[in-house]
Structure 1
Amino acid sequence: MLRRFNSITAFLPLIVFLLCARIEASVHEYPGERFLSKGNALVVHGGSEGLYSSIPNLNESSLPDSFIRSGPIHAIVFEVDDREAIGGSAYGGQRAVCCTADLAKLGVCTQGEIIHRPSTNNLGWPRVFGVSFDVDKVETILPPRLIQITKSGMYNLYFIHCDPNLKEVVVKGKTIWKNPTGYLPGRMAPLMNFYGFMSLGFVVLGIFWFSQYARYWREVLPLQNCVTLVITLGMFEMALWYFDYAEFNETGVRPTGITVWAVTFGTMKRTVSWLIILMVSMGYGVVRPTLGGLTSKVLMLGATFFVASEVLELVENVGAISDLSGKARLFFVLPVAILDAFFILWIFTSLSSTLNKLQARRMIAKLDIYRKFTNALAVAVIVSVGWICYELYFKSNDVYNEQWQNAWIIPAFWQVLSFSLLCAICALWAPSQNSMR
């Protein structure tokens, strides 16, 4: 009888009031998500976000019943620590989400329903809500539910059913995940303040650099113009990321336009930064007036890096609203990693050659600057390798995103490292009365 039903309108706002917490969450929309087979169940993933606990003395009487099992379509919400409370097995075999005939015979569940056990750490969880089709209806509505979060954690929402006759069912609607001050997911929320501080940092650096630039504009080198471009791009990037998260925090919807511009300015900044470091390493403007025949190769490498990085960042950031780890596939990450390694190899090879030329020509002042520059680069590379190892360790030990409160540090570190290296370059090559010499 249910085989002809081909749609379900599921509207489940998870409005989570966290008045005393610090982090936010977001709005998840389902334009028509189809159920996918997972084990013996059909599942739609509704979202995963880190949420902080709410004030415990809110009016409990306004909250709905914790467990509702009224039909073949279920919405189940659980904290990641309680993942083992979902599903079961009659004889120690493969874990089943839906209650099988064998498990029903043991009396632990009702056949065809979702298997779940009460959490030992979080009273009243997981939450399960059910809805069924009327005989003559082709759609059904899951009534709005309000869920209070009493324990900070990574929460997951899944729409699940166990009836193979409902393979054509789709989920339409939205869920609202909200913490105290807005809609940013817990994993992303600290980044809004971080980019605010980074914007301030670029403003301070810009004041120093532009004051030197205006004071000694007659002595400015082409290389210093490139540094000016990087600082300007950095200001725009940090401001755009801040406004991206601020808008997301205010509306619950990721602003695609601002995200794309933030990604683009960031990619441009990284590309120009790599090219500047490479040109400095080659001795451009110090040992040699031009790059000669290497110009086309340098520009080609820069263009390739820009395209690869832009694609990777767009895939990872545009429309991302859940607190899941980066979803970029290997074929997006690998080209950028290879190009980064090629830049580093070419930079240190060129630096070695430039240092030898300066030493042979006994240009002591320039040699001293280049040695400091080499040391700064070497420290940056060593720190980067160490952080990559830590990042691999962090992700390998955080399969279920349980460390979501600390995950923001990983992308923030790369921004801080890049800014620190830019500050070192500005200190070494700031416009001065001796720039031309």
Structure 2
Amino acid sequence: MATLPLGFGAIVLLLVGSLINAADAAIHVYGNKRFTKISNGLYVPGDIEALYASKLQDVDAASSGTNFKGKSVILFDDITFVRTKEAASKPKSNLENAGLVETLVFEVKDRERIGGSFLKSDVICCTQELADAGSCNLGEVIIQRDPSEPDWPKRIRTFFEKHREEVKMSPEALVINKTGLYTVYFMTCDQDLDGTVVRGRSVWKNLGGYLPGETAPLLKFYGFMFLAYVVLGLVWFPQVARYWKDGIQLHSHVSLVIAFSMGELALLYFDFAYLDSVGTSPIEVTLWAVTFSSARKALSRLLLLVITSGYGIVKPDLSGRTLKMLLLGVMCFVISVSLGLAQQFGGLPEDGMTLLMLSWAILETCFLHWIFRSLWNTLKKLKVNKRNIGKLELYKNFAVVLVTMVVLNFAWIYVEVYVYDSLNELWQVKWMIPGFWYVLAYALMVVICFFWPPNEKPTRYLYVAEMEEEYEEEEEDLVLAEAGMKSEDGSNVERDERKSLLEAFILLFGNIPRES
């Protein structure tokens, strides 16, 4: 039997890692988020965004103006806290900080500065004992100030008025003077505010626009990749048109993949550019971007299946596999669209997201298994027929490319895990994670265009019909080769028991049993 568990597990690990590609919005909406218990306080975790330091430094890091050119800012212009009727009807406590809600802004790496850990205490809110010792103010969240930046972590206080159920936070604009990964917490130490919710929004404007710092470089990257595909198209499309009558169906398939790749990257660039300029992304553009991306993924995988099966190059048809390929392609498109929409718009439960990702990984595993198995069978067939030396060398070179791509994928999975485990320090290279997959896909497309270009005499890779008797002889030799017997002319047709490293990789990912 094949080494199925090893090959299956390795490929699932590979493909789950390639799915990490989510773009965050710069405007975060809080729709009646409820305060939950944490230690001896209540809180609502806000959002996390990467922001670059402002070019124009602001001394007090707070501003009420609207001119933020050259500055990175966090805007709180529409935040409302709503407590329960029971809490509003209670007599106001005599404590100084009764009815206080605090908005805390700090760098993620300074999370330990929130709470009493530096006081060797597990509490979040200041207790009477700590207040008596002069360590903090009773009824407030304990904060350890940064000696180099005495105003950080930042604290914004909002008080409920007597018998009022709602209170609106005063508009604030915090100017960011230091590059980092920032987060927001809404917290209260007043237990009477249990059941309070927060609604409204916060706006995170980066130095160059509204794109988060960790994904901002993708705007230029998508523009660069779009131009790269345009250049490839300018070279490929005229050749296809020039030698249309002498071409093969593979050329049309390659043209379709290039066209969809150009459309996908153009939409992604426009989507990011719009988001960067106004802070929101048009839903229609996002939907089209996800659709084009999913279509491109499905077509790319079908293209690899067609090539490795030898359709139009080694054999005249797909031997009844057309329906299966189309079915797998449709499944790839549907799952990819569902996953893309879930990543972009959210709203899907964690279990649903896990199911989608698992379905995608299994589907991709089926594709890779089929691709490498088809490649193995095609190479075996070309080895038997000595008239196909040119095609054999072509497919051997292509096999080297595919195996190299797989090895690079495994190496990148390690990089992804390392980056996401150390995101607090490595957020500035996070954009490279999705970028790598686009570069790899482009490199593979360039190789395919180079190996199977349209030309006036495509006999080097074009399928040529042969006599039926020659087909039967080839198939007979193939069977004899598997058995290690002699052909009718007495020549030895032996199996090569020594597998090359390349063949070993194909065996692994194709899950093909090695002859015993």
Report the TM range for the smaller structure's normalisation. 0.7 to 0.9
- CA apart distance, 1:178: 1.3
Please report the TM-score for the alignment, with normalisation by the length of structure 2.
Answer: 0.73
Local SS of the residue matching 2:151: coil
User: Is the aligned partner of 1:402 residue 2:425?
Assistant: yes
1:370 to 363, 372, 395: 395
- CA apart distance, 1:126: 0.6
User: Is the aligned partner of 1:352 residue 2:376?
Assistant: yes
2:316 to 262, 284, 289: 289
Q: Distance in 2 between matches of 1:156 and 1:327?
A: 26
Tell me, yes or no, if the aligned pair for 1:312 and 1:328 is still in contact at 8 Å. Answer: no
Corresponding residue for residue 81 of structure 1 = 109
Q: Give the alignment of 1:123-272 within 5 angstroms.
A: 123-272=150-299
Local SS of the residue matching 2:225: helix
Corresponding residue for residue 420 of structure 1 = 443
Q: Distance in 2 between matches of 1:122 and 1:61?
A: 11
Closer, same or farther: CA 100–115 of 1 in aligned 2, 3 Å? same
Q: For 1:72-109, what per-residue CA distance to the aligned partner results, in whole angstroms no more than 9, with x for missing partners?
A: 2111000122111101159846x332223443344322
Tell me, yes or no, if the aligned pair for 2:126 and 2:140 is still in contact at 8 Å. Answer: yes
Q: Distance in 2 between matches of 1:305 and 1:422?
A: 19
Tell me, yes or no, if the aligned pair for 2:61 and 2:176 is still in contact at 8 Å. Answer: no
Aligned length: 402
Local SS of the residue matching 2:281: coil
Local SS of the residue matching 1:118: coil
Local SS of the residue matching 1:238: helix
Tell me, yes or no, if the aligned pair for 1:25 and 1:249 is still in contact at 8 Å. Answer: no
Corresponding residue for residue 432 of structure 1 = 455
Q: Distance in 2 between matches of 1:281 and 1:300?
A: 18
Which letter maps to 2:401? A
Local SS of the residue matching 1:156: strand
Q: Distance in 2 between matches of 1:103 and 1:328?
A: 45
Q: Distance in 1 between matches of 2:352 and 2:222?
A: 23
Local SS of the residue matching 2:46: strand
Residue segments in structure 2 that go unaligned for 5+ positions in a row = 1-23, 65-96, 463-516
Corresponding residue for residue 35 of structure 1 = 35
Q: Distance in 2 between matches of 1:286 and 1:224?
A: 12
Q: Give the alignment of 1:111-122 within 5 angstroms.
A: 111-122=138-149
Tell me, yes or no, if the aligned pair for 1:256 and 1:319 is still in contact at 8 Å. Answer: no
Q: Distance in 1 between matches of 2:209 and 2:372?
A: 46
- After superposing the two structures, state which structure 1 stretch, 303-312 or 259-268, moved more: 303-312
Tell me, yes or no, if the aligned pair for 1:196 and 1:238 is still in contact at 8 Å. Answer: yes
Closer, same or farther: CA 393–327 of 1 in aligned 2, 3 Å? farther
- CA apart distance, 1:34: 2.0
User: Is the aligned partner of 1:381 residue 2:409?
Assistant: no
Corresponding residue for residue 323 of structure 1 = none
Q: For 1:238-258, what per-residue CA distance to the aligned partner results, in whole angstroms no more than 9, with x for missing partners?
A: 001101100100111133221
Q: Distance in 2 between matches of 1:328 and 1:258?
A: 24
Q: For 1:364-399, what per-residue CA distance to the aligned partner results, in whole angstroms no more than 9, with x for missing partners?
A: 22212211211111111111111112211222233x
Tell me, yes or no, if the aligned pair for 2:53 and 2:207 is still in contact at 8 Å. Answer: no
Local SS of the residue matching 1:293: coil
Q: Distance in 1 between matches of 2:263 and 2:230?
A: 10
- CA apart distance, 1:290: 1.8
Which letter maps to 2:36? L
Corresponding residue for residue 490 of structure 2 = none
Tell me, yes or no, if the aligned pair for 2:104 and 2:184 is still in contact at 8 Å. Answer: yes
Q: Give the alignment of 1:290-369 within 5 angstroms.
A: 290-318=317-345, 329-362=353-386, 363-369=388-394
- CA apart distance, 1:405: 0.8
Which letter maps to 2:28? H
Q: Distance in 2 between matches of 1:96 and 1:299?
A: 59
Q: Distance in 2 between matches of 1:210 and 1:227?
A: 10
Please report the TM-score for the alignment, with normalisation by the length of structure 1.
Answer: 0.85
Which letter maps to 1:374? A
Q: For 1:287-345, what per-residue CA distance to the aligned partner results, in whole angstroms no more than 9, with x for missing partners?
A: 2222133222222222222222222222222369xxxxx99943332222222222222
Corresponding residue for residue 130 of structure 2 = 103
Corresponding residue for residue 3 of structure 1 = none
Query: What RMSD, in angstroms, separates the aligned Cα atoms of the two structures?
Result: 2.5
Local SS of the residue matching 1:30: strand
Residue segments in structure 1 that go unaligned for 5+ positions in a row = 1-23, 321-325
Which letter maps to 2:457? N
Which letter maps to 1:346? W
- CA apart distance, 1:153: 0.3
Closer, same or farther: CA 62–302 of 1 in aligned 2, 3 Å? closer
Which letter maps to 1:79? E
Q: Distance in 2 between matches of 1:121 and 1:372?
A: 58
Q: Distance in 1 between matches of 2:127 and 2:59?
A: 38
- CA apart distance, 1:57: 4.5
Q: Distance in 1 between matches of 2:187 and 2:371?
A: 53
- After superposing the two structures, state which structure 1 stretch, 218-227 or 149-158, moved more: 218-227
- After superposing the two structures, state which structure 1 stretch, 100-109 or 388-397, moved more: 100-109
Corresponding residue for residue 392 of structure 1 = 417
Local SS of the residue matching 1:107: coil
Q: Distance in 1 between matches of 2:415 and 2:281?
A: 29
Q: Distance in 1 between matches of 2:416 and 2:453?
A: 34
Tell me, yes or no, if the aligned pair for 2:51 and 2:207 is still in contact at 8 Å. Answer: no
Q: Distance in 2 between matches of 1:216 and 1:53?
A: 55
Local SS of the residue matching 2:316: coil
Corresponding residue for residue 20 of structure 1 = none
Corresponding residue for residue 478 of structure 2 = none
- CA apart distance, 1:272: 0.8
Closer, same or farther: CA 121–367 of 1 in aligned 2, 3 Å? farther
- After superposing the two structures, state which structure 1 stretch, 355-364 or 306-315, moved more: 306-315
- CA apart distance, 1:425: 0.7
